[in-house]
Every structure is written in C-alpha cells, then in structure tokens.
C-alpha cells in the first residue's frame, strides 16, 4: 500500500509528552550505560562497590564517592559528568512527574480539578529540579 496523504493531527501537549516519555526513557538507559561504563573504566572496578557505583551513575554527586572512602579525582566532578548528571535529573524527574500526571489524570474528568493537579505537579517538578541542581552546582570542589 502506498502512503496516503500525511495526516496532520497537530502537536498536542499529550502527544509531545507521550513522545518525551519514550525519548527520556531511552535517554535514561543511555546515561546509565555511559555512566556505568565510564565509572568502571575510571577505576570503579576496584574502588567502588555495586551500590555506590549505581548511586554515582544515576546521581554522580562526588559525596557518594567521598562517602565510599575513595580519593576524589577530577574525572568524577568534571563538566562532562555534571552534564550527564543534569540529563539524568531532568529526564528522571520529568519522566516521573509526567507519569504521575498521566495516571492521576486518568481519574480526573473535571477541568478545574485537572488544572489544580497540574499546577501542583508543576510546582513539585520545579522543586525537585531546583533541589537536584542545587546539589549539582554546590558540588564544584
């Protein structure tokens, strides 16, 4: 069958978030894969246990490494890892908060209630991002 004229259903909020959820899900896998691989290459094989390694991968605050009693190296706190950390935080928080919104809105048909729930979720989303990035930015050494 030949492709027929392209439908133009329009870019709706639901469509964009549906797409984001899939991309961010894959993005989180990518960040984790790169994080674990790089950590192992940088010495985690001998200096970190599995729990610490996973904590560092998903939230590579140098405190995790410090708590593990490992000497800090520049590699743990460089701009690259702060970007990776930022991506993990943005993808993770937004993915999770949108999932929460999606599930809650399954049960809400009233427009006013939906608006209130959305505002609360957006505020929580901002709070989580602010808290996470405050930790990231304070981790400058």
Partner 1 sequence: MEITLKVFRYNPEKDAKWHYETYVIEGQPTDRVLDLLEYVKGYIDGTLSFRRSCAHGVCGSDAMRINGRNRLACKALVRDVGTKITVEPLIGLKVIKDLIVDMEPFFDNYKKILPFLINETPPPADGKERYQSPEDRAIFDDTTKCILCACCTTSCPSFWANDDYVGPAAIVNAHRFIFDSRDEAANERLKVLNSMFGVYRCHTIFNCTEACPREIQVTKAIGEVKMAILRGKIK
Structural tokens at position 8: 């133009």
Shortest CB 101 distance to partner 1, Å: 11
Q: Output 18 or 130, the one with its CB closest to partner 1.
A: 18
CA distance from start to end of the chain: 61
Shortest CB 105 distance to partner 1, Å: 7
Q: Output 18 or 29, the one with its CB closest to partner 1.
A: 18
Of the candidates 62, 65, 57, 64, the one whose C-alpha atom is nearest the C-alpha of residue 34 is 57
Shortest CB 59 distance to partner 1, Å: 28
**Would you tell me which residues interact with partner 1 (CB under 8 A)?**
1, 3-4, 6-10, 12, 14-15, 17-19, 102, 105-109
Q: Output 69 or 112, the one with its CB closest to partner 1.
A: 112
Rounded Cα–Cα distance for residues 31 and 10 (Å): 31
| DSSP characters over 88-112 | HHHHHHHHHHHHHHHHHHHT---HH
Q: Output 104 or 135, the one with its CB closest to partner 1.
A: 104
The dihedrals phi and psi of 65, each to the nearest 5 degrees, come to -70, -40
Q: Output 86 or 96, the one with its CB closest to partner 1.
A: 96
Shortest CB 14 distance to partner 1, Å: 4
Residue 100, CB-side half-sphere exposure with 13 Å CA sphere: 14
Shortest CB 20 distance to partner 1, Å: 12
């Amino acid at each position: 069958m030949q492709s027929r004229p392209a439908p133009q259903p329009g870019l709706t909020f639901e469509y964009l978030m549906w797409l984001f959820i899939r991309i961010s899900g894959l993005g989180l896998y990518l960040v984790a894969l790169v994080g674990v691989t790089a950590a192992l290459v940088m010495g985690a094989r001998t200096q970190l246990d599995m729990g610490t390694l996973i904590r560092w991968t998903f939230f590579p605050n140098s405190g995790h490494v410090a708590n593990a009693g490992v000497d800090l190296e520049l590699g743990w706190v460089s701009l690259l890892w702060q970007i990776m950390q930022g991506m993990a935080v943005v993808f993770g928080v937004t993915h999770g908060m949108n999932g929460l919104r999606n599930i809650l809105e399954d049960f809400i048909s009233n427009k006013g209630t939906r608006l209130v729930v959305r505002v609360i979720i957006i505020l929580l989303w901002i709070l989580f991002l602010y808290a996470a990035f405050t930790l990231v930015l304070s981790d400058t050494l």
